[in-house]
Chain A
C-alpha cells in the first residue's frame, strides 16, 4: 500500500480542480498544435504560396507572410522547437539551481556563502540581458541559447530551494540521520529532496513560462532560429510590418505564446494550491492559534 509518489498525487489533485483542468487544457492545446502541427501543415515552411501579406483565402487560410509563404503552415511548424528549447532550458535550470540551493542550505557555512554570492552576481543581470550578452558574444547557436536561459534560471531556483531546504535541514529527522553518520549526499537525496517536491514542481511551471518568453523574445530579436526557419518569435518580427495587411502573421504566433504562458501559469497555480496541506505540512495548530491571537488582540 505504498503511496503514489507525491509529484503524481499533487498533479492528480491539481488536474481535478477547475483551475488545473482549464490550465492544462489551454497549455495542452498549444503543445498539441506545436507537436502535431508539422504533420498536418498544408505546405512546407519555405514554399511561396501566395502574395506577401495577402489576406486569408482558400489557398492560404491565414493568408501570406512577408514573403508570401503560408502563415498557417509556418505557425504549425514554428512551435515545437521553441517548446523543446524551453523545456530543456527549464529542466537544466531547475536541476542545477535546486542542487546548488539544497547544498547551500544543507552544508551551510562557506558552501552557503560561495554559492549564494555567485547566485547574487548572476541575479544582478536581468534575465533577458544576460541571455543576450552570452548569445551576442558567442553567436546565435541553439545549445547556447538553451544554456544561457538555463543559467539565468538557476540562481532564482537556487534561492527558492535553499529557503525551503533550510527548513527541512533543521528538522529532527535529518538530525536523526546525521547522528547515524550517514553521508550528507545521501541525506540530501533521501530525506531533503523528496520533501521539496511540491516547491520544485511549482518552480518548474513558473520557469517554463519564463523560458518560453525569453526564448521567444530572443528569437524576435533575431537570436534564435535563423531565417528561413519558422519560429513563433521570429514570425512576429518578420510580419510586424504587414500587421494591417495581414494581421494573422503576427497574431497567430503571439496568441499561441500567450495561451501557453497563461495555461502553464494557471496550471502551476493549481499545483501550488494542491500541494498545500499535504503530507503533514498542513497549517500547524500553533500557527493557527497565533493567527487567532492576533485577531483577538
Chain B
C-alpha cells in the first residue's frame, strides 16, 4: 500500500451538481429519495445519532438500482424507509421518499398500509419465513389479490411470469413442500401480483444456489422491464448486483458514498471503498489475491470526523479529516462519489485486482482417503459411492449446490454423522464412523470449522475458555503454558492476545470466525475441514479470512477440505476441486482444469451461472 503523496491536487467538490440525476434523463423518476435522514432519537444516555444521512437517489421505471453495502452500512434501514417503515428504536427525521412524486413519508399509517403491497412491494431475504407455513400457497396468493383488489383470474398468469410454468401443484402445496427457489418465486409472484410501481428486494437470492439464483435474477429483471416497475435490489454481493442492476449505489456507514451506472461503477470505481470491495471479491477468471480491508466500519455515533472511511482508506490525506466529503461527479453520465480524490481513484482503476496463481505443493501421499462412502436418510440416498483423496498439505475444495450432500460428507469425515457405509482412511488408519470409536489422536488431528460464526461460539464463555477447552482436553499443560498457547493461537489468527478475556458478543462476525479458526488450530491438526466458513461474512471480511487461512495452511502444512458453493472462491483457495451433485461426484481435478475446461455439462452450467462483474451493465 503506497502512501498517498500530498502534492496530488485535490479534486474540488462540485457544489451544485445534484447526485444521481443523470443528465438528459427522459421521463420522471419512479422513485426519488431526497436527503433521507434516519436517526436514533436522543435519550438520556446519548444525543441523537444519525444511522442514515444525506441519502439521495432516483430510480426510473423499469430500472433496477443495486444498493450495496456491508452489514451495518444502513442499506436495510434505507430499504425499509422506502416502505415507510423503520426498525424499532429509529425514527425518520428528515428527507423525502417520493414515489411518482408523492411523498410517502408524509402519509398516515392507514394510507401507508394501503400503499404497501399495492404501490410498493417487498421481497424478503428468506421467503420461507415470509410465507405462512400453515396456509397453502394458493390461499396466500389469493389473499393478496383479495386485499388489494386484484383479479384472481390473473393468478396463473402471475405465477407463469415468476417462472412457475405449472402453477397447479405449487398452488396446492404448503410452503415447506417447495424448494428455496420455488418459495422465492412465489414471493416474487406475490410481490408482482398487484403490479406495484416500486419493488424492494432484500437480498432475495441469499441462500439460493447459483443456478437458482441466476434464474431468479433473470425473472426479476424481466418482470421489472416488462411492467416498468422500478426496483431497489439490496445486496452485499457485488457480483450479484453487477448482474441485475442498471445503477448501483454503494453505502458505507449510513452514507451513500458512490452512485453510478453499473458498468461504469464496476469498471472504474471512484471511491476507495468500492475499489476495496471489488478487490475482495474472488473471480472465476483468475486466481487473485483477495485483499480484505483493515479495520471495520464505524458504528453510528462513533463516526470519525471528516470522511467516515478515512481510517481505513489507503488514499487518505489531511483534507479528508477536515470535513465530510461532498459528492464529486466523475463522469458526464452522473457517476459520483463522496471522496475528495474521486477523480484520481477513477483514473487508477485499470488494475483493481492483482493476479496470483496458486503454486500447488509437491505431491505427497493422501492424508485422507474417502472411498465408497454412501449415506442415506430414511432410504433417501444423500451420498452415493463417493471417492475422494485429500493430499497432505493440499487444499481440496468440495463444490456443490445446496442439497448436493457436501456438508454431509464433511460431517462424515469429522464423525458428527456416523451412519455411513464405505471407508475413510486417515493417516493410513481406517476411521471409525462416529466420534466415539475414534482415538484421541485421530480426534485431535481432524478439526472442523463451522459455517456460522454466530452459532459456533458459546455465548456464555470467554474467548480464552472457548479456545482453551480443546487444548485442555487433548493436552495437560501447566497453566502458564496453557495461557501462552491460547495467546499464540489468537496471534496466529491476527487477533490480539487480550481477546482471550472477551465474550463472543463483543466480536464482529469476522473476528468470531477467526476465533473459531484459532480453536481448531490450537491443537495442531493435520486436516482442517471448513464448511462454508465464509458464506455468512461480508466480502471484505471473507477476503481477509481466506487470506489468513491460506497463510496458515502454508505455514503449518495443513491439509484443507474446503466446502463451498462459491466457485470463484475456489479459484483463489484450492489446488484441487471436486464437484458434487445429487450425492455423486460429478467431476474432479486441478482447479485450473476444472474451472477453465470443465468436461461435465453440470460443471459447465454451474460455471455459467456464476454472477460476475464481467456481465455488468
Contacts and interface: CB of A to CB of B under 8 A. Distances in A.
Interface string B118-152: 00011011100110100000000000100000000
A179 interface: yes
B125 A172 contact: no
B117 interface: yes
B457 A289 contact: no
A295 B456 contact: no
A297 B130 contact: yes
A180 interface: yes
Interface stretch (A36-44, A138-146, A257-265, A278-286): A278-286
B221 to A, nearest CB: 21
Given A178-B435, A292-B80, A191 B458 contact: yes
B130 A179 contact: no
Main secondary structure of the interface of A (DSSP, over half): helix
Contacts of A181: 435-436, 438, 440, 443, 473
A286 B416 contact: no
B460 A176 contact: no
Interface stretch (A1-9, A74-82, A103-111, A224-232): A1-9
Interface in A164-215: 171-173, 175-182, 190-191, 194-195, 197
Interface in A245-297: 279-281, 285-290, 292-297
Contacts of B614: none
A194 B501 CA distance: 18
Contacts, number: 108
B202 A289 contact: yes
B390 interface: no
B459 interface: yes
Nearest to B124: A293
B452 interface: yes
A280 B453 CA distance: 12
Contact of A279 (B80, B448, B452, B460): B460
B45 interface: no
Given A172-B450, A179-B435, A181-B438, A293 B130 contact: yes
Given A176-B450, A179-B448, A289-B126, A3 B503 contact: yes
A292 B124 contact: yes
B400 interface: no
B197 interface: no
A173 B457 contact: yes
B485 interface: no
Residue with the greatest number of chain A CB neighbours at <10 A, chosen from B80, B455, B458: B458
Contact of B415 (A2, A179, A287): A179
Contacts of A172: 450-452, 455-456
Contacts of A176: 448, 450, 456, 516, 519
B13 interface: no
Contact of B129 (A6, A191, A293): A293
Contact of A173 (B87, B451, B455): B455
A29 B163 CA distance: 67
B455 to A, nearest CB: 4
B48 interface: no
Contacts of B415: 179
Given A2-B462, A181-B436, A297-B117, A280 B454 contact: yes
A197 B461 CA distance: 13
Contact of B125 (A195, A281, A286, A297): A286
Contacts of B456: 171-173, 175-176
Nearest to A168: B458
Contacts of A179: 414-416, 435, 443, 447-448
Nearest to A174: B458
A178 B415 CA distance: 9
Given A181-B440, A286-B126, A297 B459 contact: no
A286 B452 CA distance: 14
A251 to B, nearest CB: 43
Nearest to B87: A288
Residue with the greatest number of chain A CB neighbours at <10 A, chosen from B122, B144, B447: B122
A172 B512 CA distance: 13
A292 B200 CA distance: 12
A294 B116 CA distance: 11
Given A179-B448, A280-B454, A296 B202 contact: no
B470 interface: yes
B83 interface: yes
Contacts of B124: 289-290, 292-293
A279 B459 contact: yes
A295 B505 contact: no
Nearest to A290: B129
Nearest to A173: B458
B125 A289 contact: yes
Contacts of A297: 117, 122, 130, 144, 190
Contacts of B435: 178-179, 181
A194 B462 contact: no
Interface string B424-442: 0000000000011010100
Nearest to A281: B459
B408 to A, nearest CB: 14
B586 interface: no
Nearest to B516: A176
Given A177-B469, A181-B436, A296 B505 contact: no
Residue with the greatest number of chain B CB neighbours at <10 A, chosen from A1, A289, A293, A297: A297
A177 B38 CA distance: 43
A1 B505 contact: no
Interface in B509-524: 516, 519
Contacts of B540: none
Residue with the greatest number of chain A CB neighbours at <10 A, chosen from B83, B117, B448: B448
B462 A279 contact: no
Interface in B209-253: none
Contacts of A292: 80, 83, 85, 122, 124
A180 B525 CA distance: 12
B443 A180 contact: yes
A1 B459 CA distance: 16
List the 6 closest pairs (A to B, CB-CB), nearest first. A290-B129, A293-B130, A293-B124, A172-B456, A280-B459, A172-B450
Given A1-B501, A173-B458, A297-B130, 6 more contacts: A6-B460, A179-B435, A180-B473, A287-B129, A288-B87, A292-B83
8 contacts: A172-B452, A178-B435, A181-B440, A182-B473, A195-B460, A197-B460, A292-B80, A295-B116
